[in-house]
Amino acid sequence: MPYHLFKCSECIPEREKHAVIKGHGEDLTSALPLGYLNTIPGSITERGCAYCGAKHVIGTPMKDVIHISHGPIGCTYDTWQTKRYLSDNDNFQLKYTFATDMKEKNIVFGAEKMLKQNILEAFKAFPNIKRMSIYQTCASALIGDDINAVAQEVMEEMPDVDIFVCNSPGFKGPSQSGGHHTICIAWFKDKVGTVEPEITSDYVINYVGEYNIQGDEEVMCNYFRKMGIQVLSTFTGNGSYDDLRAMHRAHLNVLECARSSEYLCNELKKKYGIPRLDIDGFGFEPLALSLRKVGLFFGLEDKAQAIIDEETAKWKPELDWYKERLRGKKVCLWPGGSKLWHWAHVIHEEMGVEVVSVYTKFGHQGDMEKGISRCEEGALAIDDPNELEGLEAMEMLKPDIIFTGKRPGEVAKKIRVPYLNAHAYDNGPWKGWEGWVRFARDIYNAIYSPLHQLALLDISKDEIPTDKGFATRRMLSDVNLTEEVRSSTTLREYTGKFDCLPDYTKTKNDPLPKKVLSGAA
Ligand code: SF4
């Protein structure tokens, strides 16, 4: 029986159906962990709420927008310090956090007037920003404030502003995933089709489900530009509000994170007939395949292949340097919804690390199925784990590193397991060929950090060894390598810059290659 009941959860036997160990020859069709269900009482979840999914994951990466939470200030926690969604307008959307800060008296007497006053004050404080998103929370939903009516009133008084309202209170669904769905549908219904864009190429895409974590979007758009493709909008990382209102004019939706925003692509397909093409910007092979697919769609295969050849030749020796040193290292892959299947096989194939566990807090069963199918036998798959289960899993599996978010990551550090922040990574971009090498470098740096030599000592009990000296990262990683690998002149460490983004963005405003008219030779 592949289901797995954690010892710490024996008092919550329903949890058994939420964890599975992949056994020999099993295809898991009869034993997928349950997923996207309400958290079982007694299990303290680490999920986000539906408001969080709508605002913090999808809404706030939009760059030229004042994002207001209509609710208590505590709901706005996830901002600059936890989400590294960069933008090229000096990170306006991350620098400022707006909330109406509802109190008890607003619950009793209503908060619509206060909301209107907040909207007017915010536009006055930032006169260059003319776009706004307002997010409902549990509190404003429960008292029935009509946010749409307030927004409409303001738009009639201030014709140069436009406001989007997202009614996705925390309780709307079992996890943040409910909020992803709500905001996608709301944006599609209320805003798509309300602006007509300038079309400058015969090849026009929306880049959907890309949140520009540490510059990923800018790396990917650089490739599209090189192929002569106009990126009409990005939903939503580094995305502009008005560009996103014009999504209906694209020829193709290129979808990165299917878990968070496939809903929008599906609506665009139904109403406007725009096809959806799923891609993956992580890893040499998945990225190459993705650019080939986009190239094939537009008849730009040669341009895609030229990029693939150039980038692979440049970065493969560096990826292989890390692969030699990461081979056999064990990782718990505990990110959000789709990264568990975007990464599971490719980190194994291209970096040599072994995925011993996957988990998701908000993924659905389909995400689990894809993730598990890409893991090796013995991998432990967990849906919506609580903190104690996470600890027990780490004790059992003894990973060399975990990729996860801040909350479980800080717990891992306490038991001396290094972690990389897989939700909002700190040293990205990790997409693109160079980005993938940066990811390998970050894994290497975390696993072999000399800090662990001290972290593993209990200074209250252990003798401090005085005969070993201090081993550098390189001494630790190379100890079991063959002389041939150690002294290879082909393989090399990452040679890129500390901040590689300017190299990708410097041609950003150059005109696209001359427009090729459809059917022209
Ligand atoms: S669950 Fe409700 S109260 Fe809690 S953060 Fe989410 S919206 Fe705010």
For 245-283, write each residue's pLDDT tens digit.
999 999 999 999 999 999 999 999 999 999 999 999 999
How far apart (Å, rounded) are the C-alpha atoms in residues 291 and 515?
Answer: 20
Instruction: Identify whether residues 81 and 120 lie together within a single domain.
Output: yes
Q: Residue 182 C-alpha to ligand 1 middle, in angstroms?
A: 15
The pLDDT, as a whole number, for residue 51 is 96
Which of 38, 46, 69, 75 should be mutated for ligand 1, with most atoms under 8 A from CB? 75
Instruction: Identify whether residues 243 and 220 lie together within a single domain.
Output: yes
Q: Residue 414 C-alpha to ligand 1 middle, in angstroms?
A: 28
The pLDDT, as a whole number, for residue 369 is 85
Instruction: Identify whether residues 58 and 136 lie together within a single domain.
Output: yes
Query: Look-up: residue for tokens 């605002």?
Result: 55
> Are the CB atoms for 238 and 87 separated by under 8 Å?
yes
The pLDDT, as a whole number, for residue 521 is 30
> What is the average pLDDT value for the chain, to the nearest integer?
92
Going by pLDDT thresholds of 50, 70 and 90, the confidence category of residue 81 is low
pLDDT tens string 376-404: 889 999 999 999 999 999 999 999 999 99
pLDDT over 90 (residue 141): yes
Q: Residue 473 C-alpha to ligand 1 middle, in angstroms?
A: 43
Tell me whether residue 240 is in a domain: yes
Tell me which of 22-26, 86-90, 197-201, 426-430 is least confident.
22-26
Nearest ligand 1 atom to the CA of 72 is 8
Dihedral (Cα; 188, 189, 194, 196), 10-degree rounding: 40
Ligand 1 pocket, residues with Cβ under 6 angstroms? 49, 51-52, 71, 75, 137-138, 169-170
CATH number of the domain that 279 lies in? 3.40.50.1980
Nearest ligand 1 atom to the CA of 137 is 7
Q: Residue 506 C-alpha to ligand 1 middle, in angstroms?
A: 40
As given in the structure block, the two tokens for residue 249 are 């004019």
pLDDT tens string 167-185: 999 999 899 999 999 999 9
The pLDDT, as a whole number, for residue 154 is 98
Q: Closest Cα to atom 1, ligand 1: which residue? A: 170
Task: Residue 424: give the domain boundaries.
Answer: 316-486
Tell me which of 78-82, 91-95, 198-202, 378-382 is least confident.
78-82
Tell me whether residue 326 is in a domain: yes
Going by pLDDT thresholds of 50, 70 and 90, the confidence category of residue 519 is very low
Q: Residue 10 C-alpha to ligand 1 middle, in angstroms?
A: 29
Tell me which of 369-378, 411-420, 455-464 is least confident.
455-464
pLDDT tens string 289-340: 999 999 999 999 999 999 999 999 999 999 999 999 999 999 999 987 778 8
Main-chain phi, psi angles of 459, to 5 degrees? -70, -10
Tell me whether residue 455 is in a domain: yes
Q: What is the DSSP letter of 201?
A: S
Instruction: Identify whether residues 367 and 470 lie together within a single domain.
Output: yes
> Are the CB atoms for 188 and 268 separated by under 8 Å?
yes
Tell me whether residue 197 is in a domain: no
Query: Look-up: residue for tokens 């496939």?
Result: 262
Number of domains in the chain: 3
Q: What pTM did the predictor assign?
A: 0.94
Instruction: Identify whether residues 172 and 307 lie together within a single domain.
Output: no
Instruction: Identify whether residues 215 and 158 lie together within a single domain.
Output: no
pLDDT over 50 (residue 132): yes
pLDDT over 60 (residue 506): yes
How far apart (Å, rounded) are the C-alpha atoms in residues 85 and 216?
Answer: 9
How far apart (Å, rounded) are the C-alpha atoms in residues 411 and 157?
Answer: 50
Q: Closest Cα to atom 8, ligand 1: which residue? A: 75
Tell me whether residue 5 is in a domain: no
Tell me whether residue 42 is in a domain: no
Nearest ligand 1 atom to the CA of 138 is 2
Instruction: Identify whether residues 142 and 234 lie together within a single domain.
Output: no
Instruction: Identify whether residues 171 and 276 lie together within a single domain.
Output: no
**Residue of 369, 356, 357, 358 lying closest to 30 (CA atoms):** 369
Instruction: Identify whether residues 258 and 327 lie together within a single domain.
Output: no
> Are the CB atoms for 139 and 107 separated by under 8 Å?
yes
How far apart (Å, rounded) are the C-alpha atoms in residues 471 and 176?
Answer: 43
Q: Residue 415 C-alpha to ligand 1 middle, in angstroms?
A: 30
pLDDT over 50 (residue 214): yes
Q: Residue 143 C-alpha to ligand 1 middle, in angstroms?
A: 14
Instruction: Identify whether residues 159 and 179 lie together within a single domain.
Output: yes
Instruction: Identify whether residues 342 and 444 lie together within a single domain.
Output: yes
Q: Which residues pair with 206 in a beta bridge?
A: 233, 253
Q: Closest Cα to atom 3, ligand 1: which residue? A: 138
In single-letter form, the type of residue at position 13 comes to: P
Instruction: Identify whether residues 336 and 479 lie together within a single domain.
Output: yes
The 3-state DSSP class for residue 472 equals coil
User: Please, what is the end-to-end C-alpha distance for the chain in angstroms?
Assistant: 61
Tell me whether residue 514 is in a domain: no
Which of 137, 140, 167, 171 should be mutated for ligand 1, with most atoms under 8 A from CB? 137
Tell me whether residue 421 is in a domain: yes
Going by pLDDT thresholds of 50, 70 and 90, the confidence category of residue 129 is very high
pLDDT tens string 14-44: 999 999 998 887 766 667 899 889 999 999 8
Residue 348, C-beta contacts closer than 8 angstroms, at least 6 positions apart:
354, 355, 374, 376
The pLDDT, as a whole number, for residue 143 is 97
How far apart (Å, rounded) are the C-alpha atoms in residues 159 and 169?
Answer: 28
How far apart (Å, rounded) are the C-alpha atoms in residues 27 and 367?
Answer: 15
Mean pLDDT score, 441-445: 97
Tell me which of 84-88, 156-160, 220-224, 384-388 is least confident.
84-88
